[in-house]
Structures are given as C-alpha cells and as structure tokens.
Amino acid sequence: MKIRKDIYLAASGRLGFDWTHPADCNVYAVDTGEGVVLIDSGTGLNTAGLLHHLAEHGIGTDCISHVLLTHLHADHSGGACEIRRITGAKIAVLQEAAPILEAGDEEAISLPQAREAGLYAQDYTWNACKADILLNDGDRFDIGNYAFKVLHTPGHSGFDTCFYIRTSTGDSLLFSGDTVMYGGKISMLNTYDFSMLALSESMKRLAGLTLDVLLPGHGQPALSRASEHIETAHSIFSKLGIPANFSG
C-alpha cells in the first residue's frame, strides 16, 4: 500500500490495518532509489504476505537492501531472520540490542510472558538473527536519496529506536516504532524494561523535532501535522501525567 512518495506499508496486524498476521506491527518500506529499506520486519508469521504486498508495487525481493529495527519485541523483529535469508537484506539494530538479537534471547524481549498472555501462540519462537549493521544514537545512515537519523528513545523497552528522515521536498518523517502512536498515545507494558521516566525523556527529545509525518509501529499514521501528536504526549508528561495507552 503506497502511503506517499517512496513510502509503502508492507505489513500490518490487528492493531493497524489487519492485513497480514494479526500480531504483526506496521512494516514500512522506503524506496531510496538505491535499495528499499524496511522499517521493522513483523512477526515472521506472514513474511510471504509482506513480500507479496511489496511485489505488487514492483518491489522484488532483490530490491530489499536493509531492515532497520525499531526494537526487539517479536512483533517487530521476529521476521528479520527470514527476510534476511530470502532477500539478503542487511539487518540494522541498535548496538546494545544486537547481542540479544544474535542470541535469540527470548527472556530479554519478554516473549515467554507475552506467550503466556496469549499475544503469541504457544509454539511461536523467536529466531536468532545476525545483526549486520550496529547503530548508535545520533548516527546518520545514508542510503540513496535518504539519510536516516538514528534516535535511541528508550521507555517502551530498553532499546527503542526512532528513525527520522527529511525528504527532498523538505518534509520530515518519523518512524516512531512503539515510542509514540497517533494521538500521542503510548504503549505501556508490564515488563522489566518498560520505564515511564525514560519514555517521558524520550518524548521530550522527540518534541524538539519539527515533524510532518508520523509513521508509528501500530495504528494509523499521521500524514500531516505530526508534531501535534508528539506534543500531546509531551505536554501530558510535562504536567506529571501519563498519556493515554494505545490498545488498538
């Protein structure tokens, strides 16, 4: 599904467009002119569907050059291993998160609890995946017509990463993962590495960006006035409150 120039939606689950596997996050694709960059990989439970949606736009498996992971929760990273195997894409992840991904450490991403909660089938497992590119906060990742700025924005989990790009027409886009959703909602989880304080600090940082387009990990995107959504969350945090929880 084409969202705007060079930007596509490739997968989305029940908390979004209910298009691929119900548990999938939103997976976006950016056609940089020198390779297609995926933002997140989905659960891996319907990678064929994800790839099919891109093929419908003429984006074949050989075009997919990179997968940038916003965080390691299985709905975002579970498909990385298979996409890497099928397409040869390089997997890019925050440096601190790479050992967890490479070890397939399910405890570190709270997958046993998520399975127990029924968010995943009992037989769902997380595949270890090699991290080809290690990202650090503040890095600029240049490919084709785009430069992705890497922002480590912990809170929803320990290793959340947002990716910020400016288009040739001057628009600013943020792939926000699960850090902030449409309407300024946040995604609270009763997990060891969720931190409201860290999330409020991350929101403060994002509120300093001028943003036109917000492309979150679940739910609907905002294709204009994206700063308003961040500001909603930041304003509530700055009054010592807690923004609304995103629950679909």
Piece in contact with Zn ion (CB under 5 A), picked from 14-22, 52-60, 68-76, 122-130? 68-76
Q: Which is nearer to Zn ion, 73 or 84 (CB)?
A: 73
Q: Which of residues 93-112 bind Zn ion (CB under 5 A)?
A: none
Is 40 among the residues that bind Zn ion (CB under 5 A)? no
Q: Which is nearer to Zn ion, 43 or 87 (CB)?
A: 43
Piece in contact with Zn ion (CB under 5 A), picked from 67-75, 139-147, 165-173, 226-234? 67-75
Percent helix, strand and coil across the chain, each to the nearest 5 = 30, 25, 50
Q: Which of residues 69-88 bind Zn ion (CB under 5 A)?
A: 73
Cβ(45)–Cβ(71) under 8 Å? no
Alpha carbons within 13 angstroms on the beta-carbon side of residue 221 total 24
Angle, alpha carbons 176-188-159 (nearest 5°): 50
Total site size for Zn ion, rule CB under 5 A: 2
**How far is Cα 100 from Cα 77, in angstroms, rounded to an integer?**
11
Q: Tell me, what DSSP letter sits at residue 154?
A: -
Q: Which is nearer to Zn ion, 59 or 150 (CB)?
A: 150
Is 178 among the residues that bind Zn ion (CB under 5 A)? yes
Site for Zn ion, rule CB under 5 A: 73, 178
